[in-house]
Amino acid sequence: MWRNSSRNHDGAVEELDKLINGNAATFNQAALAARLAQARQNNAGVQVNQVVKQKFGNNDPDFAGVEFEWPVVFKIIKRGTVVEVKVSIGGSMSDGTYFPEEEKSAFRTHILTAWNVATVIVEEAPNRTRYYDLMFDLEWVDPGSPQPKYIVDVHKLHDRDNMRDWTFGNREACIHEFGHMIGCPDEYNTVSLQGFGQVIHDAAMYSQAGYTTNSIMNNPGSSGRIHDRHFSFVARHCRQIMKAPTEIKILRRTGPTDVEEVRQLMVAAAHGRRRALGFDDD
């Protein structure tokens, strides 16, 4: 029937059918080459696994004089004009119950919406600058899998979140803890830092009392903001995937200035999508 339809004017559909069938092998080879190129790109990434240390001062109300040590673990891959930083987390419910997929998705959405706000700027030579979008990815994996990863126990209720303990609904806290996973120290009551590269202890920044500045690493509340310095650990490791850069820096793009603004934009976008679908929520 389609041979006699208007869509087959002057045999156009038949000619297209012949073209596709006659070049099937070529198309298949091209698709295979694309898959192999993607696989090579994935394997070409650099796995980061570096131990950092942070010591709290004697004035800290909870961790006076305590030194924390943790490995910063992520994979960094260059994909065209994108630098991807993949963080793998083995998450499970602390009470042994099923970890709902919707909760995994909620953690991932809030973290990536907050952190995917920066551009990698690479100076390769005088008057030659390249720009890449910095894209973080949170991958939930089996806690028993062999790949490098973080282990997180997820709680329905919990007193205080940290890198190993997250709580349903505590969105700002998980954004803060993700900062540790990409190499950001706490910015409160700190007297020394080790392993953070160019980051040195600055009393004016790292020794402030908690919840007193507008930094997400000091104030994991609605006024906590992500700053350029929070990408410095990642920027240092970007050198391993670039060709002889003279300088690499990561700068936050202009946009929402804190977690609350991000939340408001997400709510507005959700309402807009529902209105477009014909739902009258307002």
Q: Give 186-245 as a 3 state SS string.
A: CCCCEEEEECCCCCCCCHHHHCCCCCCCCECCCCCCCCCECCHHHHHHHHHHHHHHCCCC
Mean per-residue pLDDT over the chain, rounded: 84
Position 189 in a domain: yes
Position 200 in a domain: yes
Output the six-digit token pair for 60: 């800290």
Instruction: Tally Cβ neighbours within 10 Å of residue 247.
Output: 11
- Tell me the average pLDDT across 170-178: 92
Position 198 in a domain: yes
Position 176 in a domain: yes
- Condensed to tens digits (0 to 9), the pLDDT of residues 178-207 reads 999 999 999 999 999 999 886 666 778 899
If one counts the domains in the chain, the total is 1
- Condensed to tens digits (0 to 9), the pLDDT of residues 216-254 reads 999 998 889 999 999 999 999 998 898 767 789 999 987
Domain that holds residue 171: 47-276
Position 174 in a domain: yes
Q: In Å, how far from its chain's centre is CA 180?
A: 12
Output the six-digit token pair for 237: 């490791």
Region for residue 74 given its phi and psi (left: phi exceeds 0; alpha: psi -120 to 50; beta: otherwise): beta
Q: How confident is the model at residue 2 (pLDDT cuts 50, 70, 90)?
A: very low
Position 12 in a domain: no
Position 6 in a domain: no
Q: Show the DSSP H helices in 89-196 as ranges.
A: 101-115, 171-181
**How many percent of the chain have pLDDT more than 90?**
58
- Condensed to tens digits (0 to 9), the pLDDT of residues 64-123 reads 999 999 999 999 999 999 999 999 999 999 999 999 999 999 999 999 999 999 999 999
Which pLDDT does position 265 carry in this prediction?
A: 59
d(CA 209, CA 203): 11
- Counting Cβ atoms within 10 Å, is residue 11 exposed (0-12), middle (13-18) or buried (19+)? exposed
Which is more confident, 73 or 36? Answer: 73
Position 35 in a domain: no
